[in-house]
A and B are shown apart, each in its own frame.
Chain A
Amino acid sequence: MITKRIIPCLDVRNGQVVKGVNFEGVRDIDNPVNLAEMYNEMGADELVFYDITATNEGRELFSDIVEQVANEVFIPLTVGGGINTLQDFDRVLKAGADKVSVNSGAIKNPELIREAALKYGNQCVVLSVDIKRVNGIFKVFLNGGRKETDLEAIEWIKYGCSLGAGEVVVNSIDTDGVKGGFDLELLKAVGDVVDVPVIASGGAGKMEDFKILFEKLPKIDAGLAASIFHFGEVKIPDLKKYLKEQGIEIRI
């Protein structure tokens, strides 16, 4: 059977990997190419790169990094950040990405999902959504969690999948950086309504959090995290061995 996936996420700004707590207080960690190679050696099932640079020069630097990683690391690569047009899809796919993640670009123009899915296939289009509770309602946020939208998260995800998104990354702003575990309530609500793979993001602090995620929510396919992997608080080989011992289907 298909294994559960463990995915380190690398936020890249101006050529460096960064990670903040609750999306703020960003700081540098390491060179993304070295980090990608290290994660591949450790058994990461996939890598996600988010480009959080704002300038065109930064974007070019980022495409170079994706290309360098794709030349050295032979596992699936997902790239996101600043994807607003089909040309952006083209740019990162040509650099060697396998999947492209859309977030605010799809909120501004949902047709981007449909057009990209038609051109590159559904499996290529990943819908990434930043979600926070507002008065008990799951709301979609923009700009790394700073700007609230009118969208209700579960409806937006359903709509995105109907347009052709082939995978969904659910980022819980409420649990991000807190290290108290994944947002099970939100993830269950998403898992219940979509039939494409769902990647859980935000909140993992220890190995047990992944076990709880996969045991309680069998419909969730992957767990994504950043700082706990970058800082070595959770080591991927240990995590995968632990999950396998707990009877969870995992690639060692």
Chain B
Amino acid sequence: MIAIIDYGVGNIHSVMSALNKLNIENILTADPEIIKKADGILLPGVGAFRDAIKSLEDTGLVPLIKDCVAEGKPLLGICLGMQLLYEKSFEDGEYEGLGLLKGEVISFKSRISEDLKIPHMGWNRLNVKKDSQLFKYLGEDEFVYYVHSYYASGKSEDLLASSEYGIEVPGVVGHGNIMGMQFHPEKSSSTGLKLLKAFGEMVK
């Protein structure tokens, strides 16, 4: 069973629908007992980094999430949920993240050509960089749906798959049982469902 962390931000409707469609047991929760018992954790998120990290800290769940991860429980952060895994974000200021992955979240602005629109929004090709269990169902030509103005600048060894948008945009990152997807798998049609299915199997 996957515990989807409920910290009051974002639209988790479609993540839950996608997991339900795949028959992956899931629950939206902020209950420490349920999270402890869960086989995996999903950290959703849309909106601004500052508000999200504050809401997450306000739940008091951060130490528990870190303990679960240290015990080896698979954790998947989606979109802003992935950015929260990093040490720091420079979105409208400078804010500390969970520090589960090494690196910082920075803006596209002034790092890509001015011809490219910000946010990076739409379907982009996903290029696999490193083998991962997450990719077991993927085929050759796979596209995923992104909406974001900031991206993670982390360690290259944690980069599992990327997309090209002026720079190499980290699409899927991972370090052991800690994983993140910058795009929205729950909005990426069959490709997204294949990724979530693989994550669901890693959790079992």
Interface range on chain A: under 10, 10 to 19, 20 to 34, or 35 or more? 20 to 34
Q: Show 29 residue pairs from A and B whose CB-CB distance is below 8 angstroms, ordered by the A residue.
A: A2-B122, A2-B123, A2-B165, A3-B122, A3-B123, A3-B125, A3-B143, A45-B122, A70-B13, A71-B17, A71-B20, A72-B17, A74-B14, A74-B17, A74-B187, A75-B145, A76-B187, A94-B13, A96-B14, A96-B17, A98-B11, A122-B119, A123-B119, A166-B119, A166-B121, A195-B117, A197-B121, A251-B123, A251-B143
A75 CA to B21 CA in the complex, in Å?
14
A123 x B123 contact (CB < 8 A): no
The reply to whether the CB of B186 lies closer than 8 angstroms to some CB of chain A is: yes
Query: How many of chain B's residues touch chain A, expressed as a range?
Result: 20 to 34
A12 to B31, CA, bound (A): 40
The chain A residue with its CB closest to the CB of B13 is A96
Determine the distance from Cα of A197 to Cα of B119 in the docked complex, in whole angstroms.
9
Q: Within the complex, what minimum Cβ distance (angstroms) separates B113 from chain A?
A: 11
The answer to whether A75 touches B189, judged by C-beta atoms less than 8 angstroms apart, is: yes
Instruction: Contact check, B189 vs A2: say whether CB atoms are below 8 A apart.
Output: no
Q: B residues near A, CB below 8 A?
A: 11, 13-14, 17-18, 20-21, 46-48, 117, 119-125, 141, 143, 145, 147, 164-165, 186-189, 192-193
Contact A221 B122 (CB under 8 A): yes
Residues of A within 8 A of B (CB): 1-3, 5, 40, 45, 70-72, 74-76, 93-94, 96, 98, 121-123, 166-167, 195-197, 221, 251-252
A195 CB contacts on chain B under 8 angstroms: 117
Residues of the B chain whose Cβ atoms lie less than 8 Å from the Cβ of A76: 145, 187
Tell me which residues across on chain A come within 8 A of B46, comparing CB atoms: 121
CA distance A195 to B47 in the complex (A): 21
Tell me whether chain B's interface is mostly helix, strand or loop, or mixed: mixed
Please state if B192 and A74 are interface contacts (CB–CB under 8 Å): yes
| Assembly CA distance A94 to B11 (angstroms) | 8
> Which residues of chain A are near B141, meaning CB under 8 Å?
252
Residues of B within 8 A of A1 (CB): 124-125, 164-165
Chain A residues with CB under 8 Å of B186's CB are 74
Interchain CA distance A203-B182 in the complex, whole Å: 35
| Closest chain A residue, CB of each to CB of B187 | A76
- List the A side residues contacting B20 at CB < 8 Å: 71
* Cα distance A45–B189 in the bound complex, in angstroms: 9
* Residues of the B chain whose Cβ atoms lie less than 8 Å from the Cβ of A75: 145, 187-189
A5 neighbours in B (Cβ, 8 Å): 122-123
Chain A, residue nearest B11 (CB): A93
In the assembled complex, the Cα of A34 lies from the Cα of B28 at a distance in Å of 28
CA distance A5 to B193 in the complex (A): 20
- Assembly CA distance A1 to B116 (angstroms): 10
Residue of B nearest to A2 (CB): B122
What is the bound-complex CA distance between A1 and B48, given in angstroms? 25
Chain B residue, CB-CB nearest to A99: B147
Complex CA distance for A241 and B125, rounded to whole angstroms: 16
Determine which of A74, A94, A121, A166 lies in contact with B18 in the assembled complex, contact meaning CB atoms within 8 Å: A74
